[in-house]
Amino acid sequence: MNVTVTDWGLIPYATAYERQKSLFGTALQQKAAQQPVENRLILCEHPHVITIGQHGLSSNLLFPEAVLKTRQVELYPVNRGGDITYHGPGQVVGYPVLDLDFFHLGLKTYIHRLEELIILTLAEYEVQGERLDGATGVWLDAAQAGKARKIAAIGVRSSRYVTMHGFALNVNTDLSYFGLINPCGFTDKGVTSLQQELGRKVSMEDIKRSLIHHFDRLFSAE
């Protein structure tokens, strides 16, 4: 495998963010020095947190911070693309820190492969993930008016074709927390989870194994 996989387990968002920035900075230094970059895939879960990307709108946060605190939800601005989203227990978050030049990928193709990673993983549970034009991430019933619901969010930062941030797949997520925001800025679309779709809890370890398997296939050196 061309990528080192690490599982950080349940980790506060701020801690993971600082670790990720450190790995990202090291990768940029290695690339600038024309040294091989250690490509990584980090998997984890976070305690309840709402993150807002660089172009996120504060109006998509539907409640004041005082209300968030009563539900033990942190609010955290971050340097990724995208708008506002929620992370919490029961959601698998993936942070690939990759040198896209090593994989001969542009940023658009990279995001497309992250979506494909989720789609292939969902297919193992006979859940059909889809893309939605103009809306990065993975959706169910994307083309059906009033039925489209998001099961995975994707938000990426790239510098010199080195990446950070990544994807968040709702597995056994408590979806009520999404009611605190307009997820990714949408007001006319829903959110869902594997548990919601299947009517049962899903093994997080099994999901992680599937993600790692498909990641290896999609991000083999070409």
Token pair for 40: 């990584």
β-bridge mates for residue 159, sequence order: 162
| Model confidence pLDDT, tens digit, residues 129-155 | 999 988 889 999 988 878 999 999 998
pLDDT in tens, 181-209: 876 555 567 899 999 999 999 999 999 99
Residue 1 pLDDT level (bands cut at 50, 70, 90): confident
Determine the Cα–Cα distance for residues 73 and 50; give it in Å rounded to an integer.
7
pLDDT: is 158 or 222 the higher one? 158
pLDDT at 221: 64
Q: What is the DSSP letter of 46?
A: -
The Cα 164–Cα 95 span in angstroms is 6
Domain locations in the chain?
Answer: 4-218
What's this model's pTM, rounded to 2 decimal places?
Answer: 0.93
The residues annotated as belonging to the active site are 184
| 115: amino acid identity, one letter | E
- Considering the domain delimited by 4-218, tell me its CATH architecture: 2-Layer Sandwich (3.30)
Quick one: what percent of the chain has pLDDT higher than 70?
Answer: 94
Give the pLDDT confidence score for residue 59 in this predicted structure. 76
Residues 19-66: tens digit of each pLDDT: 999 999 999 999 999 999 999 999 999 999 998 877 766 777 877 788
